[in-house]
Amino acid sequence: MICSWRNRFRQSREQLSRGQSLIELAISLPVILMLFVGMVEVTSACFTYLTLLDAATAGSRIGAVGAFYTNSQVLTMVEQTLAREGYKTSALVDVIIVRADVNGTSVANYSVTNTKGSGMSPVLTAATLAARLKSSDPACRVVDVEVLYNQSQVIGFPFFSQFIPNPIALRAYSVQLVQR
């Protein structure tokens, strides 16, 4: 009689242990899933940002060759760089091209071109450019290319869009000296 009681107690203890594992899994699985989805989305956004930075650098490099390349050719270079990497150019919000003449701490001939007409203001304004200059800086001309892109979520987990917007607005820019 005592042996049968021990066997029943041992069996019910094993069943409770299995039930406890199932409850722990049910509680921890959504947290693990959210962490995994978050890592995928952030990694994808970082990779897209690096590609945008590549495109902005390619565009500013073309724009820095002097008066030989127009703003439309700079835009074409940015779009070609994005297309080569497999990104949709339809998600491209705008490419902002800033050209300015710099002499010491003064900024002259500051021009901004929004190639897609979004009306977004550039990161490199005349005031921020002047604030970065020193009086000992030589006279030169700079070109700034800014790329604005809407990155759609990769997984598109419905609950996750409450924490990270869909699409994710990304912006990358590159400034280079114009070669004379």
- Looking at every residue in the chain, the average pLDDT score rounds to 80
Bridge partners, residue 177, by sequence: 142
What is the pTM for the complete model shown? 0.77
pLDDT (0 to 100) of residue 28: 92
User: What is the pLDDT at residue 128?
Assistant: 80
Tell me what the mean pLDDT of segment 55-70 comes to: 82
Q: What share of the chain is helix, strand, coil (3-state, %, to 5)?
A: 50, 25, 25
Mean pLDDT of 48-65: 89
Tally of structural domains, the chain: 1
For tokens 């959504």, name the residue.
Answer: 30
Residue 66 vs residue 146, higher pLDDT: 146
Mean per-residue pLDDT, 88-105: 79
Host domain of residue 73: 2-177
